[in-house]
Amino acid sequence: LRVRVSHTGRKVFEVYRWHQGAPVRIKICVWPEKTITQIREKADEYNGDFAKGINPAEQKRAVREEMTFSALFHLWLEQFAKPHKRSWEDDVRRYQNYMDHPFEKKRLSWFTATHVREWHQRLTTQLKQRGPAATISPATANRSLALLKTVFAEAAPDLRNPCAGVKMFKETSRERFLQPDEMKRLFDALESEETGEDFRDYIYLSLFTAARRSNVLAMRWTDLDL
């Protein structure tokens, strides 16, 4: 029984041992999904299977391969995303927009690097055929690929990740600086009667402090030294 700690501090408990001349690693849980007592009991259960000549990893792998991607995604959503990610609703929208239709009924054994690469390429071509409003940028396609990779890595760690080796699109930076005439129009608009006072203060505070949007929106009076 061992625990692996990532650079982000994420702790994963697992059983690691040799079986029939090969190393086997079986994930138990991400801390603190189970208590230490429950983790040890599960490790004893796996070791009991090994003693009987049964490889629990192969059993889990067979079950995973028979799952549909829809089932895997919702398993990941409930066990990994919702408890640990504030932005899980964005992941659901990305799944619904770009993964639900092509992957919903696909068995996990269907997923290969070739299939994933073809899907990733199609994301920026198929939608463009529906008109400008339906286009998808390379950056959005890359975020979808990253989500797919995360779902397999966290919810099916005993399977080979089909996203491994699939290259992301080259992204074009959107950073641009306002020109002097544009800055004047911006400040004129902020000072107009149509602009709400709260919005005006938010923009000024963001401009003059260069703080992140989330930090400014979460700011309280106690955080300010006037």
**In this predicted model, what pLDDT tens digit does every residue of 128-139 receive, in sequence order?**
555 554 567 888
What is the per-residue pLDDT for 134? Answer: 55
- Percent of the chain exceeding pLDDT 70 equals 94
Q: What angle do CA 155, 160, 164 make, to 5 degrees?
A: 100
Cross-strand pairs, 22 = 19
What is the per-residue pLDDT for 159? Answer: 82
C-alpha dihedral over 61, 62, 68, 71, to 10 degrees?
A: -60
In the numeric block, which tokens belong to residue 88?
Answer: 């899980």
What is the per-residue pLDDT for 51? Answer: 84
In the numeric block, which tokens belong to residue 25?
Answer: 């690693």
The phi and psi torsions of 4 (rounded to 5 degrees) equal -105, 135
Cα four-point dihedral sign 61, 62, 63, 66: positive
Mean pLDDT by 10 residues, the chain (226 residues): 90 90 87 91 90 82 79 93 88 92 87 93 69 69 94 88 92 79 89 88 90 87 85
For the stretch 50-64, pLDDT in tens is: 888 888 888 777 767
What is the per-residue pLDDT for 153? Answer: 92
Question: Concatenated DSSP letters for the chain?
Answer: -EEEE-TT--EEEEEEEEETTEEEEEEEEETTSS-HHHHHHHHHHHHHHHHTT--HHHHHHHHHHHSBHHHHHHHHIIIIIHHH-TTHHHHHHHHHHHTHHHHTT-BGGG--HHHHHHHHHHHHHHGGGG-GGG---HHHHHHHHHHHHHHHHHH-TTSPPTTTTPPPPP------PPPHHHHHHHHHHHTSTTS-HHHHHHHHHHHHH---HHHHHH--GGG---
What is the per-residue pLDDT for 127? Answer: 54
Q: How far is CA 69 from the centre of its chain?
A: 15
* Confidence (pTM): 0.54
